[in-house]
């Protein structure tokens, strides 16, 4: 816990130092050559402009350093993944491909089956559509089990009406992770090597070919321990909904560019081999954090992110293929979005704090440091614009920075191209998405401050009402 609190100070310290060095470098730049010019556009619009630009040596150094850092992270991640995939150390990496392939060589374990666990706390309004999407798969699941956790609505009745089995948690006080641990203790002893387990949120709908694509991957690669989904946002919710859809489209594009290499096995829908889940439960308290016998670490706010790190730490091979897509719910208000993202951010910080600095967490550390530096960069950008507005009588255009802005705009549009014309139009306007990014930066700062001060994290459950409105409730 002490190191988890320290992680906030480490991130703030490192990113603050980087920002300070950049500020010193910018301050040392000679600006005496800058001159404001004026001209007339279209014969009627008088504009003021400044042709000043950063000195080319400084510009090349800045770009070079950025590319070098990005390349270093990519190369380091690839080398770590390659080393662990080739590991034959059963005690440290019991899920590495070489270990798994050796253990399963020469034995036919039957066709790949899928048993779906759907954790649900008062999900009567959304559960029906979720179960329907499962039964309509081109390759149907063998079993669907709704894990009803302390439900006070008609969740159990809806599950039975849609042909699902029901497992009800008993005296569970550990929310989703605790309910799933109970269900997995009941389920896993009867699962064979190829009897996979899928965990799927009760507010998610699978695209029709999800299970078929996942089963094909698991059939052709017996070293593959988990298959995650790529998630896209549901329609609606106005501008705030489009912000989230753009964000999810960009995430999916990034995973495709990584050829499916996983950041997070999303809780919306992921499939696991029983070997992976049993190994995680056995390794808790020794190789990885948690209580021995638990698949999910109930101390983690973001159980899916924590389980991903746990599997990576044990050497597991995982993938999120482009064919496995799901549609998930979006937050309909700024308040619910704030609470969701604060839980995600706080959970991510706690997870890397719990695992410490290891080869498997290096990418996650780099991601958090990048987010921290982004906070300084975007805040400075808005502050400098405000200072220019206050300090000058007229708006001054800078052709060099306008050119960079156009490049940035093209990048924003290209990365959401799959999202349709609404996504492209929003990306083209640039500033609305920058303000959305600033909102997420505030969430990051709040998460860092809370964990540094040791404040208790809150887990807020989003409930669907019969009218389709999402409401927050304490589970």
Closest CA to 189 of 326, 281, 94, 317: 281
36 vs 243, residue with greater confidence? 243
Domains in the chain (CATH in brackets) are 93-356 (3.90.550.10)
Contact 444, 345 (CB under 8 A): yes
Q: For residues 148 and 165, is the Cβ–Cβ distance under 8 A?
A: no
Is the pLDDT score of 461 beyond 70?
A: no
Confidence of residue 278 (pLDDT cuts 50, 70, 90): very high
8-26 confidence digits (pLDDT tens):
667 777 777 766 776 676 6
Helix, strand, or coil (residue 45): strand
Contacts of 246 (CB under 8 A, 6+ apart): 416, 419, 423, 426, 427, 433
- Express each pLDDT in 295-307 by its tens digit: 999 988 889 999 9
Whole-number pLDDT of residue 256: 86
Burial bucket for residue 76 (CB in 10 Å: 0-12, 13-18, 19+):
middle
**Cα 378 from chain centre:** 21
Q: What is the CB neighbour count within 10 angstroms for residue 4?
A: 18
- Rounded Cα distance between 382 and 15, Å, is 18
Vertex 427 angle, CA 64 and 52, to 5°: 45
- The 10s digit of each residue's pLDDT in 350-403 is 888 888 888 888 888 888 888 887 888 888 788 878 887 787 777 777 787 788
Can you say whether the dihedral through the CA atoms of 52, 57, 58, 62 is positive or negative? positive
Per-residue confidence band for 28, with pLDDT thresholds at 50, 70 and 90: low
Helix (H, G, I), strand (E, B) or coil at 168: strand
| Dihedral in degrees, nearest 10, Cα atoms 201, 202, 203, 204 | 60
Cα–Cα distance, 29 to 60 (Å, whole number): 14
The percent of residues above 70 in pLDDT, for the chain, comes to: 89
3-class SS at 88? coil
SS3 call for 424? helix
How far, in Å, are 169, 261, 290, 464, 471 from residue 461 at the CA level? Answer: 17, 29, 23, 10, 8
Give Cα separations from 358 to 266, 310, 349, 408 (angstroms). 22, 12, 14, 34
pLDDT in tens, 409-421: 999 999 999 999 9
Contacts 24+ apart (CB under 8 A), 163-167: 163/131, 163/135, 164/118, 164/131, 167/117
CA 393 to chain centre: 44
- DSSP 8-state assignment for residue 48: E
234 compared with 395, residue with greater pLDDT: 234
Residue 72 buriedness (CB in 10 A; 0-12 / 13-18 / 19+)? exposed
Strand partners, 116: 144, 198
pLDDT band with cut points at 50, 70 and 90 for residue 464? low
- Classify each residue of 234-270 as buried b or exposed e, where b means 16 or more C-beta atoms within 10 Å of its C-beta: eeebeebbbbbbbbbbbbbbebeeeebbbbbbbbbbb
Q: Where are the beta strands (DSSP E) in 102-211?
A: 113-120, 143-148, 165-168, 195-200, 204-206
Instruction: State the DSSP code for 322.
Output: T
Over residues 63-83, the pLDDT tens digits come to 777 778 777 777 777 777 777
**472 CB contacts (<8 Å, ≥6 apart)?**
335, 336, 339, 460, 461, 462, 463
């Amino acid at each position: 816990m002490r190191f988890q609190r320290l992680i906030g100070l480490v991130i703030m310290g490192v990113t603050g130092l980087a920002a300070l060095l950049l500020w010193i470098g910018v301050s040392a730049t000679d600006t005496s050559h800058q001159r404001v010019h004026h001209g007339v556009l279209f014969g009627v619009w008088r504009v003021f402009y400044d042709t000043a630009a950063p000195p080319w040596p400084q510009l090349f150094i800045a770009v070079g350093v950025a590319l070098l850092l990005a390349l270093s992270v990519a190369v380091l991640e690839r080398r770590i993944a390659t080393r662990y995939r080739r590991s034959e150390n059963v005690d440290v990496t019991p899920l590495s491909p070489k270990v798994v392939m050796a253990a399963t060589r020469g034995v036919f374990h039957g066709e790949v089956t899928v048993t779906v666990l759907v954790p649900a706390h008062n999900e009567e309004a959304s559960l029906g559509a979720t179960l329907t999407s499962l039964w309509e798969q081109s390759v149907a699941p063998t079993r669907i089990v709704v894990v009803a956790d302390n439900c006070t609505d008609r969740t159990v009745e809806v599950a039975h009406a849609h042909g699902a089995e029901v497992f009800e948690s008993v005296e569970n006080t550990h929310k989703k992770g605790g309910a799933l641990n109970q269900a997995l203790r009941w389920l896993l002893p009867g699962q064979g090597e190829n009897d996979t387990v899928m965990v799927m949120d009760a507010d998610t709908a699978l695209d029709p070919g999800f299970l078929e694509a996942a089963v094909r991957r698991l059939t052709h690669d017996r070293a593959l321990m988990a298959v995650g989904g790529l998630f896209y946002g549901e329609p609606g919710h106005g501008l705030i909904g489009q912000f989230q859809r753009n964000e999810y489209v960009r995430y999916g594009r990034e995973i495709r560019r990584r050829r499916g290499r996983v950041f997070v096995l999303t809780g919306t829908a992921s499939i696991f081999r029983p070997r992976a889940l049993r190994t995680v439960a056995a390794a808790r308290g020794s190789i990885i954090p948690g209580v021995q016998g638990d698949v999910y670490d109930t101390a983690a706010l973001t159980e899916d992110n924590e389980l991903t790190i746990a599997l990576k730490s044990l050497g597991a091979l995982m993938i999120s293929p482009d064919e496995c897509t799901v549609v998930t719910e979006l937050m309909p208000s700024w308040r619910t979005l704030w609470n969701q993202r604060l839980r995600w951010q706080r959970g991510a910080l706690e997870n890397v704090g719990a695992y410490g600095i290891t080869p498997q967490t290096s990418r996650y550390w780099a991601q958090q440091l990048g987010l921290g530096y982004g906070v300084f960069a975007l805040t400075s950008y808005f502050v400098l614009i405000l200072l220019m507005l206050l300090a000058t009588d007229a708006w001054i255009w800078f052709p060099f920075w306008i050119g960079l802005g156009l490049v940035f705009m093209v990048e924003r549009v290209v990365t959401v191209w799959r999202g349709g014309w609404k996504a492209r139009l929003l990306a083209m306007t640039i500033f609305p998405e920058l303000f959305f990014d600033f909102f997420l930066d505030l969430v990051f700062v709040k998460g860092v401050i809370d964990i540094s001060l040791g404040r208790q994290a809150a887990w807020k459950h989003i409930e669907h009402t019969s009218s389709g409105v999402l409401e927050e409730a304490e589970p």
